[in-house]
Chains A and B, each alone.
Chain A
Amino acid sequence: MGASVMAIEASPYGIPSKKLGMWLFIIADASTFGAMLFAYGYLRVANPNWTRPFALWPTIANGIVMTVVLLTSSLTMVAAVLAAQGGRKTASLRWMGATMLLGVVFAALHLREWLAMIGEGWRLFRNPLGGPVLFGATFFGITGLHLLHVVTGVVVIGVIALGFRRARFDAGHVETTALYWHFVDLVWMFVFPLVYLMNVR
């Protein structure tokens, strides 16, 4: 009678708690990005002379390449999850490596664009074209927070891949990390049209 008996109760959602935790984080983070995009919309409505500085070349063309890179990185992350769940560890690690590489390419393209804009005189509170100064604050604020998420995602995927290789983490960890990465992609699906395409002159 000394042995303790522990009842195992299934999750009402049918998923591990770490995955539910990631979903809750995603919903909270989506609200944060939602609030930033609403603030940007608020400023645009209140400023009829809002600056629309972007042209097809180079900004929108660069944005299209960045979008394709990020969408492709989501596909490679799906491949990593499917390989991990199928017990193909080496393939999963390679797909995670490809995802990280695409994430780095996205960040590099983003930084190149930022440096070009800073070179033209754009700052958080300075508009070289003479329009509302808050353009820089909203643009660098929203894209900067997204870039931070991308860089964080690349680091997290690296940590998970290392742990997965050493059998410290399992396919469930890869899947949970993939959820975060897809969310980063999902946010860009709103940032690109609202912050880039809506500001084409």
Chain B
Amino acid sequence: MTVANAPVLVSDVAQAQPGRHPITEPAGPTKRSLLGVLARYLGLAPFALYVLVFLAVPTVLAIVTGFFTADGGFTLDNLAGLFSPLVLATFASSFWVSAITAVIGAVVGALVCYALLGTRAGGALRSFIDSASSVLAQFGGVMLAFAFIAAIGSQSLLTLWLKSTFGVDIYADGVWLYQPAGLLVVYTYFQVPLMVITFLPALEGLKTQWAEANATLGGTRLTYWTRIAFPVLAPSFFGSLLLLFANAFSSYATAAALVSQGSPIVPLQIRAALVSETVLGRENMAGALALGMVVVMVVVMWGYSVLQARTSRWQR
């Protein structure tokens, strides 16, 4: 990634340098300005080096280790392992957990945004929901798992009360909280606030004039929503949906703290591969799983950025 910049850097000097600071730097390639150019590029070095060592190298290592055996020989064995029934099933359940929580999160989050329309932008209600959403969207991992064990675990007040008052045992078919079904409930908790944060700006971008124009032309509230608001909001809504999907798909900590048995989703499968070194009797399987995840993430985030570009047309 950093290597690819090189041609850009060169052309950049050629065009951007003359006349940049006419007073302090006289025109013409004097020795001083050459040194200045060099110094400026040196200024980029620390960040470039840092990103190279701690982002580019680990990413490349994570993706390519799957192609090598423990002795360093090339192999496609791990890649083939991605298509074994067990791993495919893991990807499928990761997909469904992410897709279902993304859809629920997007719909509920959009409803909350809709409810906030017409409230004062800087008002107490709006800013409280803004702040609470940004906290809860970050509230993943161990603490979230604890919260749900306290809230709907088998010994929680709610569970005991439902059992004693209504005779309803939510865990009659086994304690699903610690299984993928539990992840659906728990992930939704950080998906909805994330939707509120990402979708609210788009909804705020709806202009009152559009509604007025619609009313002037004899439109109803229904035509306003179907003909104007939905088409304008659709790219942003589906973009946010993809972001939510990516968010759930890449989430590890919550599942690690909650799921008690096995590795039903891909991130937990990677943990198993890292910890035990061998999954399915294959070495370096973690690398192949990481590659599989990155492929999914790149596709999803690419879709997100395409939709995001369409969204920003209306937010100017």
Q: Do A and B bind each other?
A: no
